[in-house]
Amino acid sequence: MKNEIICISCPLGCYLTVNHNQNKLKNVIGNRCSLGLNYAKKEILNPERTLTTTVKVSNGNLPLVSVKTSQPIPKNKIFSAMKLLAKIKIDAPVEIGEKIIQNIFDTNANVIATKNIIKMKK
């Protein structure tokens, strides 16, 4: 089987042609670096993405704090993660890098804050 995919590992966005056979990678054409090779491998076997979204905050200078998964999680877990995060509300202050959920769905990824939120006086 032959798949045309775009490498998302960096903004160069190489167009990759991936030849594979029943989940086994045969070869990759078009990658400018080794990251592209790894990406193609994963994309065929178990595609993963970093999830970036927001979580509600109370008493903060903003009503939301931006968050991300500390490492990519399986693509098929993205929507369940969104559902889980929609239910959460945390208290200000929040510090950039702070853990909000540990090891989400046993993926080994933590959900961490990507922004500082200051606590506002009432």
Partner 1 sequence: MIKLSDILFREVALVIIGGGPAGLAAAISAKKNGIRDLIIIERNDWLGGILPQCIHDGFGIEIFDEALTGPEYAQRFIDELNLLEIPYMLNSMALEITLDKNVYVASPEGLFCFKAKAIILAMGCRERTRGQICIPGTRPAGVYTAGVAQNLINLKNMMVGKNIVILGSGDVGMIMARRLTLEGAKVHAVVEILPHTNGLPRNHQQCLIDYEIPLLLSHTVTEIQGRNRVNSVTISPVNKELESIKLNQRKITCDTLLLSVGLIPENELSKTSNVKLNPVTGGAFVDENLETSVSGVFACGNVLHVHDVVDFVTLEAERAGKSASLYIFGKQTKSKRIRVEAGSGIRYILPNFISKKTDIEMSLRVKHPGEQVSIGFFDGKKLLKTKKFRKVHPAQMIKIKLKESETRAIKTLKVRVLQ
Binding residues (CB under 6 A) for ligand SF4: these are 7, 9-10, 12-14, 31-33, 35-36, 39
Q: Which is nearer to partner 1, 37 or 62 (CB)?
A: 62
DSSP string, the chain: -EEEEE--SSTT--EEEEEEETTEEEEEES-SSHHHHHHHHHHHH--EE--EEEEEEESBSSSEEEEEESS-EEGGGHHHHHHHHHT-EEESPB-TT-EEESSGGGSSPPEEE-S-BPBPP-
Closest distance of CB 41 from partner 1, Å: 16
Does 75 bind partner 1 (CB under 8 A)? Our answer is yes
Q: Which is nearer to ligand SF4, 9 or 114 (CB)?
A: 9
Closest distance of CB 94 from ligand SF4, Å: 31
